[in-house]
Amino acid sequence: MNINIGNFKIIITENYEEMSKKASDMVISQVIIKPDSNLGLATGGTPVGMYKEIIRNYELDRVDFSKVKSFNLDEYYPISRDNNQSYTYYMNTNLFNHINILKENIHIPNSETNNVIEECENYDKMMEDCGGIDLQILGIGNNGHIGFNEPDTYFEARTHLADLNKETIEANSRYFEKKEDVPKKALSMGIGSIMKAKKIVLLASGESKAKAVEKMIFGKIEPGVPASILQLHEDVIIILDKEAASLIINKK
Ligand code: GLP
């Protein structure tokens, strides 16, 4: 089912697999139309199925990533890039090791830097210098965060060092042995960098995301719900499974 609400084009799918396939189709068409696309990529549990589907299509020779540049949304800080909880490790194992993207075209905020300010400035500059993000993939946190832009009293525009809030640490602790092991900080693209993307595709799956999805679509635009700012972007496609869409289906 496809519905439009405000600027949002919303696709409601039957399940996680269909959501992942639709999202993968969007990435693949973007790269076919513009082989030197700059892709903004996300981590978390949600896009894993999309990455699998992209790899499947790559193996069938349907898409070529040799000219693509990628910019990841965020990365824990500090963390060794070899740590299996780092987003560098996640991206290598879930996507990059399986497609023909060039190593030098991959960008992930440097979780090992001693100079956070310089790293953040460089990250924004690199994105600007290569013409900005063509297609940004986003997930959404249970608390409405995008990237690691947590609910706050203002929108943080640029790449920055973010303090993760309790809810996010709790949600991410499912990937760690102990809650104490979850990093407390992360480097994240800012809201300004995300909003500059030419096109955005946001994915959400499962009932735990339903409230955040409802607030993003129908709520007031406010930094307390970072994803609500997407209401002001002109090209956002939201792909949901039925559970994530459960609170918006009857509201339209
Ligand atoms: C994480 C990431 C986000 C991600 C979100 C949801 O903390 N920083 O980029 O979109 O939280 O994660 P998941 O897809 O695992 O629910």
143 pocket-lining for ligand 1 (C-beta < 6 Å)? no
141 pocket-lining for ligand 1 (C-beta < 6 Å)? yes
172 pocket-lining for ligand 1 (C-beta < 6 Å)? yes
Catalytic residue among 53, 74, 119, 134: 74
Work out the number of other CB atoms within 10 angstroms of the CB of residue 215: 19
Catalytic residue among 145, 149, 160, 214: 145
Note the pLDDT tens digit of each residue in 141-175: 999 999 999 999 999 999 999 999 999 999 999 99
Taking CA atoms only, the protein residue closest to ligand 1 atom 6 is 141
What is the average pLDDT across 105-120?
A: 98
Q: What is the Cα–Cα distance from 225 to 58, expressed in whole angstroms?
A: 36
Q: Is position 112 annotated as part of the catalytic site? A: no
pTM, to two decimals: 0.97
Note the pLDDT tens digit of each residue in 8-62: 999 999 999 999 999 999 999 999 999 999 999 999 999 999 999 999 999 999 9
Q: What is the Cα–Cα distance from 101 to 90, expressed in whole angstroms?
A: 15
Q: Is position 160 annotated as part of the catalytic site? A: no
pLDDT band at 217 (very low <50, low <70, confident <90, very high): very high
Q: What is the Cα–Cα distance from 230 to 221, expressed in whole angstroms?
A: 8
Task: Using the structure block, give the residue that is written with the tokens 């405000």.
Answer: 6
pLDDT band at 251 (very low <50, low <70, confident <90, very high): confident
Pocket test for ligand 1, best of 86, 140, 159, 213 (most atoms within 8 A of CB): 140
From the list 107, 73, 32, the residue with the least C-alpha distance to 201 is 73
Instruction: Report CA-CA distances (Å) from 66 to 59, 63, 109, 190, 247.
Output: 14, 9, 21, 27, 41
Kindly state the tokens that stand for 60: 């069938």
Report CA torsion sign: 19, 21, 167, 147. Answer: negative
42 pocket-lining for ligand 1 (C-beta < 6 Å)? yes
